[in-house]
Structure 1
Amino acid sequence: MRVTVFGASGAVGRLVVQQLLDDGHEVTALVRTPGKLTLGHSCLTVITGQLSDCDAVERVVSGADAVISALGPSLKRSTTGSQVTDGTRTIVQVMEKQQVTRFIGLATPSLADPHDKPHWKHKVLPVMAGLMFPNALAELKGMTEAVTRSDLDYTIARITNPTDKPATGRIRSGFLGHDKVGSAMSRADIAAFLVSQLTDPRYRRAMPAISN
């Protein structure tokens, strides 16, 4: 499968790229700083560009079977603006233009899915995030709405506490109030879940919460 990856030089994104290559996929990645993506592989194409560059986004999306976005906002309180939201809107517009329908991305349980039942995370996490990371929360809302309000065939995995622990292979997924999903999850297992959604139809046009 030909897969385009955004956020490929980030902590989760690098693991997504490696997992895709290990599974035999062809990968095209858009990165702002190529030196941060140190992987080398005959099935990996790295294109330098910004999310704000529509032509660059078109180059990496063209011919893809699916897009995986490991993009996320900065957690620095000094960060302002809507770069990630605007970039995600560009990705969605280009995907619709190129007729690439499958989108897999990340968000947070601060944002509810219609399948959820009332849960403490819906009350506590938005308040905490709004106080500690107000711009990041606004960005997460914006980038998620850009996808969910589109006609794309999306799966957005909601994560709470990513860690750098080794992969466990134990992944819980589901909807708050229905399924036993915790908070902590290794980034390696997050990457594995995102890649698994290329062929798993369970969460089409849904936002499952995931954890170890």
Structure 2
Amino acid sequence: MRVTVFGATGGIGRLVVRQLLDDGHQVTALVRTPAKLALTHPDLTVVTGQLSDRDAVLQALSGADAVISALGPSLKRSATGTAVTNGTRTIVQAMKAQKVTRFIGLATPSLADPQDKPHWKHKVLPVMAGLMFPNALAELKGMTEAVTGSGLDYTIARISNPTNKPATGRVRSGFLGHDRVGSAMSRADIAAFLVSQLTDTRYRRAMPAISN
């Protein structure tokens, strides 16, 4: 499968690229600074550009079967603006132009899925995030709405506490109030879950919460 990855130089994005290549996929990564990816492979194509560059995004999506986005907002309290939301909107528009329909990305349990039941995380997490990371929460809402309202075939994995622990291969996934899903999850397992959604149809047009 030909997969375009956004956010490929981040902690989760690098692992997504490696997992895809290990699984035999052809990967295109849009990055601002190719040296940060620190990876070469016969099946890896690197496009240099920014999310604000629509032509670069279109180029990265040419011939793609699916998109995996490991994009996320800055958690600095001083952060301002809507760069990630705007970038996600650009990706969505370019996907439609290139007739790419499958989108796999990330969000937070601070945002509810219609399949959730009432849960303490719906009350606590948005308040905590709003106090500690107000711009990040606004960005996550904006980028999620850009995808869920687009008509794309999406799966958005909601994560709350990514760690740098080794992969365990153990994944809990589902909907708050229905399924036993925790909070912490290794970035390696998050990456593996995102890649698995290329062929797993359980969470089409849904936002499962995931953890170890």
Counterpart-to-counterpart distance in 2, 1:144 and 1:36: 26
1:49-198 aligned within 5 A: 49-198=49-198
Counterpart-to-counterpart distance in 1, 2:160 and 2:92: 24
Shift of 1:37: 0.2
Shift of 1:184: 0.2
Counterpart-to-counterpart distance in 2, 1:76 and 1:48: 26
Shift of 1:176: 0.2
Q: What SS is found at the alignment partner of 2:129?
A: helix
Counterpart-to-counterpart distance in 1, 2:112 and 2:82: 21
Counterpart-to-counterpart distance in 2, 1:123 and 1:7: 29
- The aligned residue for residue 41 of structure 2 is 41
Q: Which amino acid aligns with 2:188?
A: A
Q: Which amino acid aligns with 2:40?
A: G
Q: What SS is found at the alignment partner of 1:165?
A: coil
Gaps of 5+ in 2: none
Gaps of 5+ in 1: none
Shift of 1:204: 0.2
Shift of 1:34: 1.0
Q: What SS is found at the alignment partner of 1:105?
A: strand
| Offset from partner CA, 1:89-148 (integer Å, 9 cap, x none) | 000001011110000000000000000000010000000000000000000000000000
- The aligned residue for residue 206 of structure 1 is 206
Counterpart-to-counterpart distance in 1, 2:89 and 2:127: 26
How many residue pairs get matched? Answer: 212
Identical columns (%): 85
| Large movers: runs of 4+ above 2 Å | none
Q: Which amino acid aligns with 2:182?
A: G
Shift of 1:62: 1.2
Q: What SS is found at the alignment partner of 2:27?
A: strand
Shift of 1:35: 1.2
Q: What SS is found at the alignment partner of 1:18?
A: helix
Q: Which amino acid aligns with 1:205?
A: R
Counterpart-to-counterpart distance in 2, 1:191 and 1:170: 12
| Offset from partner CA, 1:140-165 (integer Å, 9 cap, x none) | 00000000001100000000100000
| Offset from partner CA, 1:172-207 (integer Å, 9 cap, x none) | 000000000000000000000000000000000000
TM-score normalized by the length of structure 1: 1.00
Shift of 1:39: 1.1
Counterpart-to-counterpart distance in 1, 2:140 and 2:62: 25
Counterpart-to-counterpart distance in 2, 1:149 and 1:45: 30
Shift of 1:33: 1.1
Q: What SS is found at the alignment partner of 1:113?
A: coil
Counterpart-to-counterpart distance in 2, 1:115 and 1:97: 30
Q: Which amino acid aligns with 1:81?
A: G
TM-score normalized by the length of structure 2: 1.00
Q: Which amino acid aligns with 2:2?
A: R
Shift of 1:31: 0.3
